[in-house]
């Protein structure tokens, strides 16, 4: 099972790389579509939960506006304020990357760096989804070998294909030798070295 701490550390690394590549970015966070924080690098003046909730609300509003105006699926939200800009970029439908940049930041360069970081975030989250085991109907992770899947009341057997055991086929008994004809005779050994014949025992 994937380690949540490992995922958080990889998301933190993606945010740290964004801040290193774009010094104009003053704060960044990864939030889920339902407004829950997943990773962040925010100053003390910004509350993580508040930033996550506002970002999800802005993205949802932007999606409705884009669809309502016939602009198709939303890819990003760009907000320009008196003291700087805010970028919200979708991480391939896995999460949202929020970046808050200074006023002097170049929009084109910021968008490039934020999109690059969003791609890294999406890759981390997709890898986690692939690694997560899927529970079977019997509550056993599907990544176990099929032969080791536990089936209640039947022991270890394939859960999806279990069937009552079929009795092994019993080979037909080998037919005993019988003479072809009751008229057949066979040579018989005689103590004096001569040969004679004996009558066969009639076949029942």
Residues 6+ apart with CB under 8 A from 11: 30, 38, 39, 121, 124
Enumerate residue ranges in the chain where pLDDT < 50: 1, 132-138, 140-142, 144-149, 159-166, 168, 174-179, 182, 184-186, 188-190
For residues 85 and 1, give the distance between their C-alpha atoms in angstroms, rounded to a whole number: 39
| Same structural domain, 91 and 152 | no
What range defines the domain where residue 144 resides? 136-164
Q: Which residues contact 118 (CB under 8 A, 6 or more apart)?
A: 89, 90, 91, 92, 97
CA distances from 100 to 92, 106, 185 (A): 20, 12, 110
Are residue 60 and residue 118 in the same domain, yes or no?
A: yes
Helix (H) or strand (E) holding 50: helix 48-68
Is residue 184 in a domain? no
- Does some domain include residue 203? no
Residue 69 within a domain = yes
Q: What is the CATH number of the domain that holds 84?
A: 3.30.450.30
Q: In whole angstroms, how far apart are CA 151 and each of 136, 143, 145? A: 10, 15, 13
Provide the edge-to-edge strand list for the sheet that holds 84-90. 37-41, 25-31, 96-102, 84-90, 76-81
| pLDDT, tens digit (0-9, with 9 covering 90-100), for 44-56 | 999 999 999 999 8
Instruction: Identify the pLDDT of residue 4.
Output: 58
For position 120, what pLDDT does the model report? 94
Looking at the fold, whether 8 and 84 belong to one and the same domain comes out as yes
Are 106 and 9 found together in one domain? Answer: yes
Reported as a single tens digit per residue, the pLDDT across 70-102 is: 988 888 899 999 999 999 998 887 899 999 999
**Do 51 and 147 fall within a single domain?**
no
Residue 128 has which token pair?
């986690």
34, part of any domain = yes
State the Cα–Cα distance between residues 182 and 203, nearest whole angstrom.
7
d(CA 103, CA 131): 41
Residue 169: the pLDDT is: 52
Percent of the chain exceeding pLDDT 70 equals: 60
Question: Do 104 and 159 share a domain, yes or no?
Answer: no
Considering the entire predicted model, what is its pTM?
Answer: 0.60
User: Are 87 and 107 in the same domain?
Assistant: yes
């Amino acid at each position: 099972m994937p380690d949540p701490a490992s995922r958080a550390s990889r998301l933190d690394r993606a945010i740290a790389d964004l801040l290193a590549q774009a010094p104009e970015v003053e704060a960044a966070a990864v939030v889920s579509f339902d407004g829950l924080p997943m990773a962040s690098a925010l100053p003390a003046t910004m509350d993580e939960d508040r930033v996550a909730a506002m970002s999800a609300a802005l993205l949802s509003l932007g999606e409705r506006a884009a669809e309502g105006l016939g602009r198709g699926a939303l890819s990003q939200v760009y907000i320009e304020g008196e003291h700087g800009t805010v970028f919200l970029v979708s991480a391939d439908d896995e999460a949202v990357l929020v970046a808050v940049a200074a006023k002097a930041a170049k929009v084109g360069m910021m968008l490039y760096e934020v999109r690059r970081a969003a791609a890294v975030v999406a890759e981390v989250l997709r890898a986690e989804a692939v690694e997560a085991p899927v529970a079977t109907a019997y509550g056993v992770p599907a990544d176990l070998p099929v032969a080791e899947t536990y089936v209640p009341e039947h022991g270890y057997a394939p859960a999806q294909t279990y069937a009552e055991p079929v009795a092994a086929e019993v080979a037909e008994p080998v037919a005993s030798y019988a003479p072809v004809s009751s008229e057949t005779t066979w040579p018989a050994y005689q103590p004096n070295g001569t040969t004679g014949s004996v009558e066969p025992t009639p076949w029942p």
